[in-house]
Structure 1
Amino acid sequence: MLFQQLSQSPVFRGITPEEMESLLQGAQYRIKKYSKGDMVAFREDRCENLMIVMKGSVKGEMLDPSGKSIKIEDIMAPYPIASAFLFGQRNQFPVNVTANEDVEIFSLAKESVVDLFQKNKVFLINYLNLISNRSQFLANKLMFLNFKTIKGKLANYILKLAAPDKEQVTLPKSQSEMAQFFGVTRPSFARSLKEMEQEGLIETHRRDIKILNRQQLIRLLQQ
């Protein structure tokens, strides 16, 4: 069962359960369980293991200077946690990691990860692709957080969904989820969305958004 689950993870994609069992012989690993709300890792804890969510999901959060929690992302089974931070001079967790629900996490010691790099080329390539994708995600997230206003964040989000030439997009999250993603309250998010509609920038219907003034949306990015 364990090897079947692991073979579904992007880190081990293309490796059969039988190959997984052989690869992990002699490796240092364990499975740890957490309850909903438990802290899996604190920001700046040492990242010494490749951690893969086997069941449930966790969330990565950071605190702004005022102490407000900003959710960076949810990580669901069978995806890894902070894989880009296992190596490097400062291999520490960049965010707090909390269990969204009851979760099980597979942890593979760093030394065993290095051994697997040498034993299996597929695993090595999967890992390199994964950390490259994560680095790009974090870079985009940091750029997004630089926008000082909710309208600026909204404009950036809508324009990204609309690229390159769509005039209508659908928000993939509810208003509550979007507000949490932006690090603001739901009323503040809803008010900003309504103001953008009143200003003739967009037209909304539930999660559907029609762009009415693309140039003005672009100007919001510069505020």
Structure 2
Amino acid sequence: MPRAFADLTLPAAVLWDMDGTLIDTEPHWIGAETELVEAHGGVWTHQDGLSLVGNPMLASAARLQERGVDLSADAIVDFLNDRVAAAVAAGIPWQPGAQQVLADLRDAGVPMALVTSSFRMLAEPFATAAGMFDVVVSGDEVSQPKPDPEPYLTAARLLGVDIAECIAVEDSHAGITSALASGARTVAIEVLQPVAPQPGLSRIASLGELTLSAIGRVVRGEVLDLRRAG
């Protein structure tokens, strides 16, 4: 059952998406995609990049091949991960409010997992630098990546908690689909993709709205829409 902390109801765990949700890496991904396509004589627009947000890496590689990138899928994935990893290594581009909510949950003793479509080579250095996550589930370590529920179900299993007592926080359509299908109480933050209302889906405009109090309301079964708060 959810645990009480300072008169709040807290989840068994919080399961976090990485790119777009906790850190603002999507511009780096789009920049790397653009560089690669243009190097092979093609055109890649910002809208093209938005269409790949949250996609499995190999699915993104296939799209880039369709645009003329004459490399293997593995080579494309390595190129993109190398570019984004270098950018993150130069300084973690935290989303507003991310560090505060992570610290609040850590202080409350809530277990946390990083659940990302990015590969381990990018997820692990970020998780280590952040120092907040009990487990990491990366896109190259599951047989069915997002939008399949396997990544979130895997995170709950590794943490030893019931997925139905967890909160998942996502920003992409694929990630939201994955989290909802897993049975987690899902909170979506609008970053680059608009988030349409769905049954059971809470929506926020920034992580600054995701206070322990708001998290407790979601655990108790409320569906929040805080996008216009303040």
- What is the TM-score when the length of structure 2 is the normalising length? 0.25
Give the greater-gyration-radius structure (CA): 1
More strand as a share of residues: 1
Larger RCO (CA under 8 A, 6+ residues apart): 2
